[in-house]
Amino acid sequence: MTVKLPNSRSCFACGAENSIGLNLTFHVTGPDTIECVFTALPEYQGFPGVLHGGITATILDELVSRTYMIDDPNRLMYTARLTTRFRKHVPIGQPLRGVGTKVKDRGRMAEARAQLFGPDGDLLAEAEGLLADIGMALKQDELDALGWKVYPDEVAE
């Protein structure tokens, strides 16, 4: 069984109501692991048939920054450093799977890694991230105003 993580209303990566965004959704799939499954649209390509590298990095960044939401869905972390490796081209129009994994939690700072796999299970890109806790606890009414919630699948996917 997986647990779906919250999305925001307008985030480029996960914004459930962002008409130009990626509309990614994330599920907890293990004690230290989250995943997202999606198909990249042609609007996000760089070279013909290939996902733009900046969009690939955005997906990896989102996976890295969300890993510590496994234990607290409202734990928001900035990416302080993202080291990205592009292994193979990332195809447009084919199902892709992203995996984010906790590495080390040091309180205000944490480390995580992300991997992006193609339809055949090939590793296409990966990243290691150093994360910094935003350091602010948002009240429920502030989260509601930002649209930070678990959206029903038919809206978010």
Q: What is the pLDDT along the chain (157 residues), one digit of tens a residue?
A: 689 998 888 888 988 888 999 999 999 999 999 999 999 999 999 999 999 999 999 999 999 999 999 998 878 898 999 999 999 999 999 999 999 999 999 999 999 999 999 999 999 999 999 999 886 656 666 666 666 667 777 644 4
CA gap 138, 83 in Å, rounded: 29
**What is the spatial distance between Cα 54 and Cα 130, in angstroms, rounded to a whole number?**
18
Task: Find the angle CA(18)-CA(134)-CA(66) to the nearest 5 degrees.
Answer: 55
Q: What is the pLDDT of residue 76?
A: 84
- The per-residue pLDDT for range 65-105, each reduced to its tens digit, is 999 999 988 788 989 999 999 999 999 999 999 999 999 99
Residue 96 near residue 118 (C-beta atoms within 8 A): yes
Instruction: Specify the pLDDT at position 93.
Output: 97
CB 63 within 8 A of CB 84: no
C-alpha to C-alpha distance for 41 and 50, rounded to whole angstroms: 10
As a whole number of angstroms, the distance between CA 105 and CA 147 comes to 27
* pLDDT, position 156: 45
Q: Residue 133 belongs to what H/E stretch?
A: strand 123-133
CA 70 from centre of chain: 12
Round to whole Å and give the CA distance between 141 and 54. 33
Give which of 132, 77, 128, 96 is closest to 22, Cα–Cα. 96
In this prediction the pTM is 0.88
Helix (H) or strand (E) holding 63: helix 53-66
User: What is the enclosing helix (H) or strand (E) of 54?
Assistant: helix 53-66
Domains assigned to the chain: 3-146 (3.10.129.10)
Supply the pLDDT for residue 155.
Answer: 46
The predicted pLDDT at position 157 comes to: 43
pLDDT at 105: 96
